[in-house]
Amino acid sequence: MTKTSSPQDWPEPIVRVQSLSERCTDSIPDRYIKPISDRPSSAVLDDDANIPIIDLAGLCGDPEARASTLSQISEACNEWGFFQIVNHGVSPQLMDMARETWRQFFHMPVEVKQQYANSPKTYEGYGSRLGIEKGAILDWSDYYFLHYLPLSLKDCNKWPSQPPSSRYIYIRIFSVIIVRINI
């Protein structure tokens, strides 16, 4: 069984969004209401504003293609904070299995998921907040972070064992990608 993060690790008690949602309250708690300036705009987005799509096949190519792909990844991280990858080698069936496994995990009782609670030191594991600023406005989400590389950050105790196939599926996905990008 995994040791949960200590309550002293966080500046305030952690309340999981799932448990708030299940209470069927009539309103969203103030802690989750972003200032208008931080909310997405309903204005029409620029047609050129597309989520970056990175083709991982470039990492297996010649040094110039590899450098170009790494540059695209860096630019996407700096400008967007995320990106979509294609040609990663993970089969649609394996992606479906992973999606179903995570769906099963997030539908488990909070007490089960809490066994994998994260800490603000690495955020690895099951969590509901990012950052340790007391009184911060929080996102309306629960999440799960896993580290695979570098090995110094990977904490296998934070990898859920429920549902039973979960670790196997995550390792398969990471292994396929690692082989694909030739690390």
Identify which has the larger pLDDT, 177 or 9: 177
Statement to judge: residues 71 and 102 lie in one domain = no
**pLDDT confidence of residue 52:** 95
**Where in the sequence is the domain holding 143, given as residue range(s)?**
90-183
Distance CA 181, CA 98 (A): 20
The answer as to whether 5 is a domain residue is no
Q: Nearest to residue 90, comparing CAs of 177, 183, 178?
A: 177
Statement to judge: residues 94 and 83 lie in one domain = no
In the chain, % of residues over pLDDT 90: 37
Other beta carbons within 10 angstroms of residue 147's beta carbon come to 17
| Cβ proximity of 83 and 55 under 8 Å | no
The answer as to whether 136 is a domain residue is yes
Question: Is the pLDDT assigned to residue 101 strictly greater than 90?
Answer: yes
Model confidence at 91, pLDDT cuts 50, 70, 90, reads very high
Statement to judge: residues 77 and 95 lie in one domain = no
Q: What is the pLDDT of residues 24-80, one digit of tens each?
A: 677 888 888 888 888 877 776 666 678 999 999 999 889 999 999 999 999 999 999
Instruction: Tell me how many domains the chain contains.
Output: 2
Statement to judge: residues 60 and 96 lie in one domain = no
Place of tokens 């670790």: 167
Distance CA 14, CA 146 (A): 20
The answer as to whether 20 is a domain residue is no
Residue type, 108: M
What is the mean pLDDT of the segment spanning 122-146?
83
Question: Is the pLDDT assigned to residue 6 strictly greater than 70?
Answer: no
